[in-house]
């Protein structure tokens, strides 16, 4: 799973995925030389969905996972919360499926949990 990276690195990761997608299409066409344009398009659409999912994953996770320089304070007791780890969840988007990642803080007193960025 990706951690925050510079814009140039995020772009490089995208270019790598795009190259990979194109190569897969080339391989597929090699294996299906009689394919109609519609069949090629259908295959490309599937690959596009995979690529878009990964692209958005990179775009979102690559900017921030919500890890704070200063740990947030508990809304209930005001105690400084501890970084428990990272929590990932799948998003079934219009353009593709992505796995997003968020920092996960827990209050040592109240078992309060917070994800950053919220939402």
Instruction: Decide whether 28 or 115 has the Cβ nearer to Zn ion.
Output: 115
Residue 73 in contact with Zn ion, rule: CB under 5 A: no
Q: How far apart are CA 35 and CA 43, in angstroms?
A: 10
- For residues 95 and 46, is the Cβ–Cβ distance under 8 A? no
Neighbours of 71 (CB within 10 A): 16
The least distance separating Zn ion from the CB of residue 82, rounded to whole angstroms, comes to 11
Residue 76 in contact with Zn ion, rule: CB under 5 A: yes
Instruction: Decide whether 82 or 90 has the Cβ nearer to Zn ion.
Output: 82
Q: Nearest Cα to 87, choosing from 69, 100, 74?
A: 100
Binding region for Zn ion (CB under 5 A) out of 22-30, 60-68, 79-87, 88-96: 79-87
The least distance separating Zn ion from the CB of residue 69, rounded to whole angstroms, comes to 20
- For residues 85 and 25, is the Cβ–Cβ distance under 8 A? no
Name the site residues for Zn ion (rule: CB under 5 A). 74, 76-77, 79, 107, 109-110, 112
């Amino acid at each position: 799973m990706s951690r925050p990276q510079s814009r140039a690195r995020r772009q490089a990761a995208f270019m790598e995925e795009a190259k990979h997608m194109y190569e897969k299409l080339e391989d597929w066409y090699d294996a299906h030389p009689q394919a109609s344009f519609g069949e090629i398009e259908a295959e490309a659409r599937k690959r596009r969905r995979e690529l878009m999912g990964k692209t958005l994953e990179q775009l979102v996770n690559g900017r921030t996972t919500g890890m704070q320089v200063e740990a947030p304070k508990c809304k209930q007791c005001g105690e400084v919360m501890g970084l428990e780890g990272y929590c990932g969840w799948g998003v079934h988007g219009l353009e593709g499926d992505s796995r997003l990642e968020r920092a996960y803080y827990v209050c040592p007193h109240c078992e309060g949990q917070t994800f950053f960025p919220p939402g």
